[in-house]
Amino acid sequence: MASLSITADPLSLIPTFPNEDPSTYPPIQSGGSLILAWQIRNKRVLLVGGGNVAATRLVHLLSADALVTLICPPSGLHPETAYRLKTHESRITYIPRNFEPSDLSSIPSISLVLTAIDDPVASTEIYTLCKSLNYPVNVADVPPECDFYFGSVHRDGPLQIMVSTGGNGPKLAAMIRRKVADSLPKETSKAIVKVGELRKMLRAIAPEKDEGAKRMEWMSRVCESWEFEELAEMTEGDMKILLEGYKDGVVKQYKEVKLLESVRSGEEEDDRREGKPGDA
Ligand SMILES: C[C@@]1(CC(=O)O)c2cc3[nH]c(cc4nc(cc5[nH]c(cc(n2)[C@H]1CCC(=O)O)[C@@](C)(CC(=O)O)[C@@H]5CCC(=O)O)C(CC(=O)O)=C4CCC(=O)O)c(CCC(=O)O)c3CC(=O)O
Ligand SMILES: NC(=O)C1=CN([C@@H]2O[C@H](COP(=O)(O)OP(=O)(O)OC[C@H]3O[C@@H](n4cnc5c(N)ncnc54)[C@H](O)[C@@H]3O)[C@@H](O)[C@H]2O)C=CC1
């Protein structure tokens, strides 16, 4: 294997860009959190505690199709947690006792640990063990013992919006989340689903890897030129008509597509009456 020897100062190797205009780049506001959409589906999450906060954690975990191990004595179960244990028996493994340090090593393949318990000493013990094993952990109520915070989440089908105030005002986060949700058009989720279907169909007719830029540019124009309500009403037939324009970079407007669709279905109806064979 070739050895890597760096003699020059790396900064001196950075090219200069004569037309660079840094004022067009987003300014960096440090001190934030890294907001991601974690794909936790079928991965194991350890949740310690079964009270009110644990019940809210379960909603998030089950909505993301995680596999959960829940440790909590039966006497500590909130009614909602007890309900989830029964309705999601196949997703949640229930251990009906207090947490024991050996749990962290005996439960295989833990991706994430959450605690929601009213015992600060046990919380800190779990936190310290998690750090020694390199597990990401959230200790509810103790921000310094959190590798990540929860946020206030609006969910509507494929749409998820998380509001974080970086630990400053969780109640405000919930109020802001409601304001944001109230400001969205009611067809938002349906429009997202339809756009997802259109993108799949586009990839099927133009699967080439090197066409990524063209696909993205065309899809972006569709999203910009159709209203949310129009996207939400898009039928499979509309999508096919819209996609006919892709090759030449044409984005037909909603009205044009609907008109073409009604003309074509009228023609098909005439053909059917006259007994002509239609397209297979
Ligand atoms: C740091 C963080 C760590 C984490 O839990 O991940 C954390 C920590 C703490 N929460 C406290 C209090 C409250 N938390 C809530 C509610 C929520 N808390 C959530 C997240 C977070 N809370 C993370 C930061 C997120 C951010 O800043 O944006 C939400 C958004 C998400 C969720 O938990 O699922 C959920 C709303 C969900 C929704 O309704 O949509 C309410 C209101 C209520 O219960 O209705 C109150 C009382 C009112 C108030 O204080 O604002 C206290 C003080 C305890 C004390 O004073 O003793 C601490 C500890 C501290 O601040 O030191
Ligand atoms: N988002 C946030 O950060 C918020 C955090 N909190 C805090 O979260 C914690 C939990 O709150 P709630 O669910 O309302 O409390 P709770 O009293 O309803 O539930 C506590 C749960 O922890 C269990 N428990 C205690 N010690 C345990 C152990 N060693 N092993 C396993 N389970 C154990 C209890 O049996 C019970 O199920 C509290 O410290 C609370 O102050 C409260 C509100 C919001």
188-265 has CATH 1.10.3280 classification:
yes
Question: Which ligand approaches the C-alpha of residue 119 most closely?
Answer: 2
Token output for 163 = 């509001």
**What are the residue boundaries of the structural domains of the chain, listed by start?**
44-150, 151-184, 188-265
Question: Which ligand approaches the C-alpha of residue 171 most closely?
Answer: 1
The pLDDT value given to residue 280: 39
Say yes or no: CB of residue 99 within 6 Å of ligand 2. Answer: yes
Residues annotated as part of the active site? 141
Can you state the percent helix, strand and coil of the chain, rounding each to 5?
50, 10, 40
Q: How far is the CA of 177 from the centre of ligand 2 (A)?
A: 24
Rounded average pLDDT per 10-residue block, the chain, 280 residues: 70 94 96 96 98 98 98 98 98 98 96 97 96 97 95 97 97 98 97 98 93 94 97 96 96 95 80 62
Say yes or no: CB of residue 56 within 6 Å of ligand 1. Answer: yes
Phi, psi of 2 (to 5 degrees): -70, 140
Q: How far is the CA of 171 from the centre of ligand 1 (A)?
A: 6
Question: Which ligand approaches the C-alpha of residue 118 most closely?
Answer: 2
Residue from 155, 156, 152 nearest 175 by CA? 152
Count H helices and E strands in the chain, helices first: 10, 7
- Using H for helix, E for strand and C for coil, what is the string for 150-202? CCEEEEECCEEEEECCCCCCHHHHHHHHHHHHHCCCCCHHHHHHHHHHHHHHH
Say yes or no: CB of residue 120 within 6 Å of ligand 1. Answer: no
Q: Identify the bridge partners of residue 112 per DSSP, sorted by sequence position.
A: 45
Atom number of ligand 2 nearest to Cα 117? 22
Say yes or no: CB of residue 53 within 6 Å of ligand 2. Answer: yes
pTM of the model: 0.90
Q: Fold for 151-184, please state it.
A: Double Stranded RNA Binding Domain (3.30.160)
The pLDDT value given to residue 276: 63
The pLDDT value given to residue 4: 61
The answer to whether the CB of 259 falls within 8 A of the CB of 222 is no
Q: Fold for 44-150, please state it.
A: Rossmann fold (3.40.50)
Atom number of ligand 2 nearest to Cα 98? 30
